[in-house]
């Protein structure tokens, strides 16, 4: 039989959404730590910040309201979460059995016999320098997939084992991009240089674009693409190469990129790590490569190069 539909008024939904989470957790016997106007609660070893009816998971970088909280941490569906919250949270909230999702093992997409389509897309459409692209291709870090002809950007661990792969569509109208299942974000697409500098980007194409604009001596620097706005690859690279002592944050010139720049900058500051934020003129570094700003003065360009000691 189909499940009976549960109707809630807008007022009931709003009442449930505004439930104070600190009180809810105390009723469940959970321990909370006061931190200014907020509370800290632990989801295992990860910290969750609580403020009124709102929460934010520091590790997953996700949050929401009281309804989202009950759904996320007690595996309830929407009607179950709202019914419980409307009941005043008086009873013990029993965790439902979690939905077990099949975890696929990490596996690189089969490679095509040639890189013709990926090579043309990256050099002609995206403007990536041919010699820079060839260096990464020769290192097995970029190839073309067999089935969909995606450009695949591979990240390896220190033992040379592939741990991450980011796919980018190469069709003229394609906007597809995504990571291979079970990729480890701490090993996303990166390059280890020999000096103390590390540049952090959002996407592999932005990283390659920046290198294409600053080709001289580029191999001596270290670079990494988050394939998003996570900072896990940054910390992994610094752990694997302790000589890195200066970080350049080169995320996109949009709200998400600059918000991540600020968050990562604060974490670097707390750790006493030298860093600088470099912002592209356009939305990202590939646009800067494709549409150079003719109004940029020579002094500005020279200042950027000197900052990176290119």
Give residue limits of the domains in the chain.
10-86, 116-308
The answer on pLDDT for 187 being more than 70 is yes
Q: Give pLDDT, residue 308.
A: 54
Per CATH, is 10-86 categorized as 3.90.580.10? yes
Segment 70-78 mean pLDDT: 88
Within 8 A by CB and 6+ apart from 4, the residues are: none
The answer on pLDDT for 263 being more than 70 is yes
Q: Give pLDDT, residue 205.
A: 98
Q: Which CATH architecture has domain 116-308?
A: 3-Layer(aba) Sandwich (3.40)
Q: Give pLDDT, residue 310.
A: 45
Q: Give pLDDT, residue 297.
A: 45
Burial class (CB in 10 A: 0-12, 13-18, 19+), 216: exposed
Q: Which residues pair with 50 in a beta bridge?
A: 39, 55
Place of tokens 């697409």: 189
Q: In the structure, what pLDDT confidence band is assigned to residue 35 with cuts at 50, 70 and 90? A: confident
CB 20, CB 52: distance < 8 Å: yes
Domains 10-86 and 116-308 share a fold: no
Higher pLDDT, 80 or 7: 80
3-state class (DSSP) for residue 13: helix
CB 283, CB 255: distance < 8 Å: no
Segment 119-144 mean pLDDT: 97
Within 8 A by CB and 6+ apart from 224, the residues are: 188, 189, 190, 191, 198, 199, 200, 201, 207, 233, 234, 237
Q: Give pLDDT, residue 298.
A: 45
What is the DSSP secondary structure assignment for residue 125, as one 8-state letter? I
CB 67, CB 17: distance < 8 Å: yes
Q: Give pLDDT, residue 8.
A: 85
Within 8 A by CB and 6+ apart from 100, the residues are: none
Give CA–CA dist 27/33, Å, rounded: 15
Percent of the chain residues past pLDDT 70, beyond the cut: 87
Give CA–CA dist 57/53, Å, rounded: 14
């Amino acid at each position: 039989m189909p499940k009976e539909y549960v109707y809630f008024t807008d007022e009931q939904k709003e009442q449930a959404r505004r439930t104070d989470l600190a009180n809810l957790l105390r009723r469940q016997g959970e321990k909370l730590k006061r931190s200014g106007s907020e509370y800290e609660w632990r989801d295992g070893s990860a910290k969750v910040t609580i403020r009124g009816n709102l929460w934010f998971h520091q590790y997953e970088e996700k949050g929401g309201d009281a309804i989202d909280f009950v759904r996320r941490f007690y595996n309830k569906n929407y009607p179950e979460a709202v019914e419980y919250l409307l009941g005043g949270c008086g009873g013990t909230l029993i965790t439902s059995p979690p939905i077990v999702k099949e975890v696929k093992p990490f596996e690189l997409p089969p490679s095509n016999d040639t890189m013709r389509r990926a090579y043309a897309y990256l050099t002609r459409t995206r403007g990536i320098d041919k010699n820079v692209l060839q260096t990464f291709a020769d290192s097995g870090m970029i190839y073309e997939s067999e089935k969909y002809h995606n450009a695949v950007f591979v990240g390896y661990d220190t033992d040379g084992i592939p741990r991450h792969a980011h796919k980018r569509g190469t069709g003229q109208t394609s906007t597809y991009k995504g990571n291979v299942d079970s990729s480890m974000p701490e090993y996303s697409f990166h390059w280890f240089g020999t000096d103390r500098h590390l540049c952090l980007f959002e996407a592999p194409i932005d990283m390659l674009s920046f290198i294409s604009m600053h080709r001289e001596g580029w191999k001596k620097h270290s670079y990494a693409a988050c394939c998003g706005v996570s900072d896990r690859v940054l910390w992994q690279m610094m752990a694997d190469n302790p000589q890195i002592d200066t970080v350049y944050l080169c995320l996109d010139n949009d709200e998400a990129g600059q918000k991540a720049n600020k968050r990562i900058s604060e974490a670097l500051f707390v750790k006493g790590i030298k860093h600088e934020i470099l912002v592209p003129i356009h939305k990202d570094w590939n646009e800067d490569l494709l549409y150079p700003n003719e109004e940029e003065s020579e002094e500005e360009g020279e200042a950027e190069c000197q900052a990176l000691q290119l």
